Amino acid sequence: MKIQIDQAITQALQRHGLRPTRARQLILALIEQDNQHYTPEEMLVRLNAMGERLSIATLYQNLAKLVDKGLLVKFVGLDGEYRYDYNKMPHHHLICKSCGRIVDVLVDQTLDAIEPQLMDADGQKKLPPGWKILQRRVDFIGVCPDCSQHGTDN
């Protein structure tokens, strides 16, 4: 399986003021076509498997740049490891405790429902006063359908 670099990726890079170099095209193409939330290390393994070579230093540099320009989002996995994700709609993650699989959960407006609830549910103030909430980090941790079936509970 070869990696496919289409026109859209090149254009996306240029639109964000980045030169469409091979390294950047590879990174974006990989994340897009695999639709995964890889760590840097995992990206390298995957790229190697597809016959593509990339220096680890280059990978890190470009990930930082892609995040900086808003093309990717960097987030922290369950064990503190960094993972990267396309910058899609505001969304959260559904993480399988058993196999580590991560799935996006698109929750645009829905999460806005949480905050007021925290503020005054059953008479108690749950959030201390005076704080300005800018964003929320919400991850759901559970067991994916595949792992449930195989009884690989962990």
Partner DNA sequence: CCCTCGATTAATAACGATTCCGATAAAACA
Partner DNA sequence: TGTTTTATCGGAATCGTTATTAATCGAGGG
The site for DNA (CB under 7 A) is made up of: 18-24, 39-41, 53-58, 60-62, 64-65, 81-82
Site string for a second copy, 87-126 (x = CB under 8 A): -------x-xx-----x-xxx--xx-xx--xx--x----x
Contact 38, 53 (CB under 8 A): no
Q: Which stretch binds a second copy (CB under 8 A): 4-12, 16-24, 52-60, 136-144?
A: 136-144
Site string for a second copy, 53-82 (x = CB under 8 A): -----------------------x-xxxxx
Q: Please return the burial class of 26, using the count of CB atoms within 10 Å of its CB with bins 0-12, 13-18 and 19+.
A: buried
Q: In whole angstroms, what is the distance from residue 116 CA to residue 114 CA?
A: 6
* 3-class DSSP assignment, residue 120: helix
Q: 105 - beta bridge partners?
A: 92
Note the residues at the interface with a second copy (CB under 8 A). 76, 78-82, 94, 96-97, 103, 105-107, 110-111, 113-114, 117-118, 121, 126-145, 148
